[in-house]
Structure 1
Amino acid sequence: MRDFVERVVEKLSVGENKDRVSVVQYSREAEVHFSLNTHRTREDVMDAVRGLRHRGGRPLNTGAALQYVMDNVFTNSTGSRRLQGVPQILILLAGGRSFDNVDTSASALKQRGIFVFAIGSRTSDSRELQRLSFEPSYALSVSDFSGLDTVQEQISSLMSTAAPKVGFLHRILTSRDVVFLLDATDATRSDFPAVQDFVQRVVETLLVDEKKDRVSVVQYSRDPAVQFYLNTYMTKDEILNAVRNLRHKGGRSLNTGAALQYLRENVFTASSGSRRLEGVPQVLILLSSGRSADSVDAPASALKQMGILTFAVGSRGSDSRELQRISHKPTSAFTVAEFTDLSSVPQQLLASLEALPIDVTPETPTDSGTSIMQPFRCHSRTPFTSL
């Protein structure tokens, strides 16, 4: 295993602004030997690899190790440049079937755009290796680890095929389509400046651009009214100016269900600027001051099926259970006493937005204008295990 890692590292251009390498061993628990920002030269990495000592232990908890790597290795503080679009690669060597469940952590790594290559021995579970890998074809097997040299070229080739996907994944990771659905009934008239301020503070945190974040605002009461679509404004200043100039719509009845249905059919669409079919996360932030006069269940379910990530913010007049049913998960529902207290919400909301999953299923665009990184210009992340 050490020889295998050395041969991979020999092909890298290690440097602070080039390739970075980290190594982890695991059995029952994971242990980081060095992080992505520990060594800045190939010689230092090679010396560290040669100095590795077998960790030992039982059982083999691959699921927990993957979670550990995600939480403690692929992070800004430990040298990961994931959010800057640098390819993130995890090479896993597993000598048997995992004692714990791997599906949740493997899925989470894929959602973050981390390319996982799983290499197993004859005692490994081939189907588990495929589930662990970013794609089933990224799973490789050897009779035993003394034969790892036979898959060295395969790994290099597969990493080369992964590289063209990086620009696409980076665009997804740094892009969001954000729609605000604002309760504009008569009951919220005096609170409307606080609502506008809330929207402005969220927009201030976004990277607004045609190829990055896009924003739409809709007011509703009995009927919804689009103030601007996702493709109306392409700069932050334009959006902030439009939000400042909003005029309260008014209306007596609060038909949240009809408004959600309207968004599905008229706002989260390609013609209105939505990039849902390209895999860009779709975010809906709902502000509601009371219980809906119509049913929200069917339209909320339809939005979830489309992959819309809904965050619902209600005042004390709202139905907390209704807000939870509307949200893409119960913890994405927030409540404040009054809309004048909305200042307490953005930090919670922004933390949730940063943890958004991404959809990595759309096909990679073949646009020749896309910038492609070199195959090994990456974070290489190698957990070791032993039987």
Structure 2
Amino acid sequence: MTDCKGAKVADIVFIVDESGSIGNENFRLMRNFLHLVVSSLDVSPKRVRVGIVTYNDVSTPQVFLNSFNDKDELLEYIKILPYNGGGTRTGEALNFTRDNVFIKENGCRKENGVQQVAVVITDGRSQDEVSEAAITLRRAGVTIYALGIKDAIESELLEMASHPPDQHVFIRDSFTELTHLKQTLQKILCKNIIAKAVPMKTEAKEVCVKTDEADIFFLMDDSGSISWQDFAEMQNFINNFIEHFQIGPQQVRIGLVKYADSPTDEFDLTTYSDEESLVNAINSIIGVGGGTNTGTALSHMGRLFKRAAVTRGHEAPKYLIVLTDGKSADEVKAPAEKLREQGIIIYAIGVKNSSQTQLEEIAGDSKRTIFVKNFDALKSIDNEIIREICSEEACRDIQSDIFFLTDSSESIDEEEFQKMKNFMKFVISKSTIGENKVHVGVMQFSTSYNLEFPLNQYYSKDDILRAIDDMKQMNEGTRTGKAITEVSRYFDAAKGGRPGMRQNLIVITDGKAQDDVRGPAEALRNKGVEIYAIGVKNHNPTQLKEISGDSQRVYSENDFDALKDLEAQVSSKICERGKSRSRANQQRQLGVEQCWKKCSKPLLR
């Protein structure tokens, strides 16, 4: 199996339930499942190390991370992994694994920056508490996957697993389904290991440091329900956020207000003008406790943002990021609406017992709300918000052509087709559509192709979104090469394209093309069109690379749900590159104008 070839370095520990409810036959199926998953990993002392802990009433270390140097020997041992029966103390197993397996003496390489991963496999309710044990393990830097079979309790799996749950929680009705789950878990596990080994932080930072200017306030819940550890997680989240921006009086400015019964100004936008001073100030904030009057705190923010325009000398993009862990005791909708009327974009992050209704009332848009079960999950979402904000800025004032070429074959069901539409709509929503701005075109393909609209048909965002909503699926084969050849014509001036501008093609496909893609894609790239290839479900990775011509513009996903994870990533990348081209064009134009003024002589004296 080649799925995990890119996942080169990780420490992975399987925490396996061996309680009496499983039985010998089901435990045999569990052994087979472990054997299949480990077979797909690049196991060796310098690459992926594997550990195994079995547990019932007590936990037993079957394999430490440095027990086996040879993959074949490890696989042979998995075949005879002992089964004892007994109770189900999952919380104790998490603590045991943290204290006895994820340690340097037993092969853990955390000190070297190697990713730490735990995969919990259980078939029933734990006889002890799992939440705190899981939080402590995650805070130790371990990413947790939770696999529940048969009578496992979903709420417990969610308590254990890392964020987001759709990538870290798996539920199956019986042990016979493990064979089918193997490929799904394997792909997600390997994809996440690769993603974290090459973090998106660098890519996000490249976009964000080019964010010209912004005024960003954090509104931080300081109520009594937040422990000192939770408070520290919020501080870390804000510090990680700041790292991505060019901080300065004329660039990105950061302010912070904490609140409980009433708001307290910690520092204004003008207080600190460099990253180091900001981090020191954030780390010195002390939690006091109290009630949760989020509405009062929101009302307080209005005058701070008004003062921002005065101190900067002009209006800059304004953002408010609200962090809260509970339901507000006062009304939030009206004060939040007043802030949005001032042009402030609000993101609402809810933790633990926060109200989803109130989060949406605060943000005014469900897409700007994020909920996580625990504060330690905040570190998993910083890129999500950062990309959102930075793609907003990267997409301002660019000129480019963006064409979507979407697979409409019969292997895509109605719900998946809608998710593909939603992806396109998000990318478009981040762009400034207009006759002299961004132009968008869409073509579907199957055995044949169908032009929905060319680049010069719509100059209104609403018209484009309406046309996408009206798209009907073709339900035939997959002739991707043929479609690329056809769409190539629509980048030409005669068909509505603007060859002098940045031109992008985004190809979305769920399967292997039934024709050649290399030749048509290469011909299109030779015209200066940059191609992004997004493969979903049963796509062919080799063909994606042939289409894009560059692995940096290839995105592979397991299902159409994962398109949502790519929305901000793709839009920010396209916009930033478009902005670079626009700046270059502006500089060339300025040079021509300066030369004309300096060099030209009047014809008549």
Q: TM-score, normalised by structure 1?
A: 0.49
Q: TM-score, normalised by structure 2?
A: 0.32
Larger relative contact order (Cα-Cα within 8 Å, sequence gap ≥ 6): 1
Which structure carries more helix by proportion? 2
